Amino acid sequence: MTAVDQSTRPAVVARRRPGGARPGGGRSAMSYGFVALYAALTVAFGILPTLYAVYLAFTTGEGGFAGLDNFTKVIGDFRFLPAVGHVAFYLVIWLVSLVVLVTLLAIVVHTIRWRWLSSSLRLIFYLPGALAGASSVLLWLFVLDPTASPVGGLLRFLGLDSFVQVIVPGNLPPIFAIIAFWTGAGGWIVIMYGALNNISPDVIEAARIDGAGTVQIAWHIQLPLLRKWISYMGIMSLAAGTQLFVEPQLLSQASNAVVPNDYSLNQLAYQYAFQQNDFNGAAAISLLLLVIALVLSAFFVMRGGLFETD
């Protein structure tokens, strides 16, 4: 573990290792100094909160061992399953549209030969990423309010004449998916574009000579080579989407509680902590969400190959 060069894999860092040959004592002491602050932050805001959440989730309010009581309590809560359903429905719509549209747009933008056009398009797609958090939700509240909306005509054409008609609960998963897509897709398009640039021109050239058209090249060459990036995007977005909070929270506030304030799982955890003063129940929900995020990310670290550590 210390100074042994264990790596034979051709990884990102496939060069001769320093230190392995000459383990200078002063240097390794220095290394501890260099990582000390970051390591302290990792412990304070990565490891400790996780352990504390585990502790709370398995204890009672008085500090006694609770076994699985907190978990059975929150899972048995009448709001829990609907919240799972809401988040799941939203995730399906969002992930499918994200994967399909981002890949399609990246490939189409990539076929453009005018550099100014291709880079302006990427900028336009990317720009909404600056409006994350509450700002993007607020902006979409305007867009979804037929009286003020820039696309009010379109909304009325769809038979939606008032804000309350737009945000009926059945419409929410697609609405959240649209907001998330609007803010997040551009960054992924840029990443996919970068990945497409990394495909060797020779491969594409060879396919062209063999008579492949743009669509065939996209389907048989670009898509398979993008697969790793697509799965990366999918898993990251799945993990992030389970944490849905700000969108339903603001919509709930703007709709006079037509949208309930326990719509998503994170909101429910928030309700437990701050309305019911039940930190153990909140910790149990947080822990469930954290485990999902951890399992997904660990899967990617282990299996992905995208992040070669050594």
Partner 1 sequence: MTTRQINHPGTRRGSVSGWSGRAIAAVVLLIFVLFFGIPIVWLLLASTKSARGLIVDNPFAPGSLDGLAANWDSLFGFGDGEVTTWVANSALYAVGALLITLVASIPAGYAMALTRFRFRRLLLILTLVVMLIPNTALVLPIFLELNTVGLIGSPLSVILPMSFFPFGVYLTYIYFSTSIPRDLLAAARVDGCRELQVFTRIALPLAAPIVALVAFFSFVQSWNNFFLPFVMLPSSDGYPIQVGLTSLLASTPAFNPSSAGTQSIQLPTLALATVISVLPVLIVFLFSQRFLVAGMTAGGTKE
By CB under 8 A, the residues from 3 to 22 that bind partner 1 are 3, 12-13, 15-20
Could you tell me the smallest distance in angstroms from the CB atom of residue 88 to partner 1? 16
Q: Which two tokens stand for residue 304?
A: 């992905």
The interface region with partner 1, picked from 60-68, 70-78, 88-96, 126-134 by CB under 8 A, is 126-134
Selected binder of partner 1 within 68, 92, 100, 127 (CB under 8 A)? 127
- Name beta bridge partners: 65: 59
Which CB atom, from 14 or from 81, has the smaller least distance to partner 1?
A: 14
227 binds partner 1 (CB under 8 A): no
Position 1 contacts partner 1 (CB under 8 A): yes
- For residue 60, the minimal CB distance to partner 1 (Å) is 15
3-state secondary structure the chain: CCCCCCCCCCCCCCCCCCCCCCCCHHHHHHHHHHHHHHHHHHHHHHHHHHHHHHHHHCECCCCCECCCHHHHHHHHCCCHHHHHHHHHHHHHHHHHHHHHHHHHHHHHHHCCCCHHHHHHHHHHHHHHHHCCCHHHHHHHHHHCCCCCCCCHHHHHHCCCCCHHHHCCHHHHHHHHHHHHHHHHHHHHHHHHHHHHHCCCHHHHHHHHHCCCCHHHHHHHHHHHHHHHHHHHHHHHHHHHHCCCCHHHHHHHHHCCCCCCCCCCHHHHHHHHHHCCCCHHHHHHHHHHHHHHHHHHHHHHHHHCCCCCCC
Nearer to partner 1 (CB atom), residue 69 or residue 97: 97
Which listed residue (59, 70, 103, 242) binds partner 1 by CB under 8 A? 242
Name which of residues 282 to 301 contact partner 1 (CB under 8 A): 282-283, 286, 289-290, 293-294, 296-298, 300-301
Give the burial string for 239-250 (b: 16+ CB within 10 Å, else e).
bebbbbebbbbb
Residue 161 touching partner 1 (CB under 8 A): no
Q: How far is the CB of 166 from partner 1 (least distance, A)?
A: 12
Tokens standing for residue 172: 């929410």
Q: Which stretch binds partner 1 (CB under 8 A): 64-72, 88-96, 104-112, 169-177?
A: 104-112
Candidate list 58, 90, 163, 263; residue touching partner 1; CB under 8 A? 163
CB atoms within 10 A of CB 99: 16
The yes or no reply on residue 96 touching partner 1 (CB under 8 A) is: no
Decide if residue 129 touches partner 1 (CB under 8 A): yes
Examine residue 30 and tell whether it contacts partner 1 (CB under 8 A): yes
26 binds partner 1 (CB under 8 A): yes
Among 70, 103, 266, 271, binds partner 1 (CB under 8 A): 266
CA 111, CA 203: separation in Å to the nearest integer?
15
Q: Which of residues 196-225 bind partner 1 (CB under 8 A)?
A: 196-199, 201, 204-205, 208-209, 211-217
When binding is defined by CB under 8 A, the residue of 82, 84, 152, 261 that contacts partner 1 is 152
Chosen residue from 91, 109, 155, 230 binding partner 1 by CB under 8 A: 109
Total number of residues that touch partner 1 (CB under 8 A): 137
Shortest distance, position 121 Cβ to partner 1, whole Å: 6
Q: In the set 233, 246, 248, 259, which binds partner 1 (CB under 8 A)? A: 246
The torsion defined by the Cα of 230, 233, 235 and 240, in degrees rounded to 10, comes to -160
Indicate whether 158 belongs to the interface with partner 1 (CB under 8 A): no
